[in-house]
Structure 1
């Protein structure tokens, strides 16, 4: 994440909190109650974001893992394309022999 992205996210959250505060005041809450409820909304949002992050981390569904899998697939595909037909047939025969032995 770039520095400007982090600044933008922080500014966006600050604006959302301010809009929630103003929204609660429009619906009739006094300043203190509006502040409390806007903080509740932001904390619930933070907990929700954290929960999605934890679920993605536990399931290895993060961007890093996906990029690594894509790289490995591309690497093995390129290596496979570089093999001669004889080498490919030899590897295929080895795989079939190994499957029959199990």
Structure 2
């Protein structure tokens, strides 16, 4: 992630909090309650976002794992192309 991406994400969260705060003020909450509820919504959103990351970590659904699997698949396919039909037959009989 580039530095500008991190800055834009932080700015997006800041603006989202402000919009939620103003929406609560328009709905009739006083400043303290609007601030508290906008913070609650932002914290719950952040917890939800982090939980998706944790789930991807534990299910090995990360970009790195996908790249390693794609590399391994391509490597073994290339090795299989180099083998003669006799070598493939021998490999298949050894596997069983």
TM-score, length-scaled by structure 1: 0.84
Does residue 1:82 correspond to 2:67, yes or no? no
Q: Distance in 1 between matches of 2:58 and 2:38?
A: 30
Q: Distance in 2 between matches of 1:70 and 1:9?
A: 30
Matched residue, 1:34: 34
TM-score, length-scaled by structure 2: 0.89
State the number of aligned residues: 96
Deviations for 1:22-77, whole angstroms, at most 9, x for unmatched residues?
A: 11111011122111111100000011112211111111111211121111111111
Q: Distance in 2 between matches of 1:49 and 1:21?
A: 20
Instruction: Output the aligned Cα RMSD.
Output: 1.3
Matched residue, 1:14: 14
Aligned partner of residue 61 in structure 2, secondary structure? coil
Deviation at 1:86, TM superposition (A): 2.2
Q: Which runs of 5+ in 2 are unaligned?
A: none
Deviation at 1:3, TM superposition (A): 2.0
